[in-house]
Amino acid sequence: MQQSEFLNIVMPFKDKLFRMAKRLLTSTEEAEDATQEILLKLWKKNKVMDSYNNVEAFAMTMTKNFCLDRLKSKQATNLKLVHSNYEDGNTSLQRQLETKDSLSWVEKIMEELPEQQKMVLQLRDVEQYDFDEIAQMLDMQAGTVRVALSRARKTVREKLVQKHNYGIA
């Protein structure tokens, strides 16, 4: 596979790889490093890339595994699982603060979710993959993905309602 073919295949989903890494690693720098590592690994596999049914799903799985390994490593003791890459400059300051607070609460709630639910919620609601793609990436059945997503959404919803009704701080 030539470099131009590789770029045509990989570049359209490069940002998704970065967002997945950012979701898992918190730090923009760490996510950029992880994305570069994955792109390098993909390039090293460019001769066999045609044999993969879905290169994007393969790359997302590589990214997930790389980031989880990174989090488990001794170097990553100060990293944690959060997501904070949302900005909206077209709203009032009060609305921006409310949005930031809501996102902060969702992040805190997501940190408490089991790993499987956290990953399914990220891939479905943030990255907008369909159930079959998520099932392939996480090596799960599509029905299991639906159940994990439902449970994750229910937990997030219940804890947000609890926070707003009782003022949990």
- pTM for the model: 0.51
- Cα separations (Å) of 91 from 44, 81, 88, 102, 137? 45, 28, 7, 15, 36
Inform me whether the pLDDT recorded for 10 exceeds 90.
no
CA distance 98 to 152: 22
CATH number for the domain whose boundaries are 1-82: 1.10.1740.10
**Encoding tokens for residue 53?**
């049914």
CATH number for the domain whose boundaries are 92-169: 1.10.10.10
Provide the residue ranges of all domains of the chain, joining segments of one domain with +. 1-82, 92-169
* Digit-coded pLDDT (tens) for 45-103: 888 887 888 888 889 999 988 988 888 774 545 544 444 444 544 557 777 777 787 77
* Digit-coded pLDDT (tens) for 114-130: 989 988 988 888 788 88
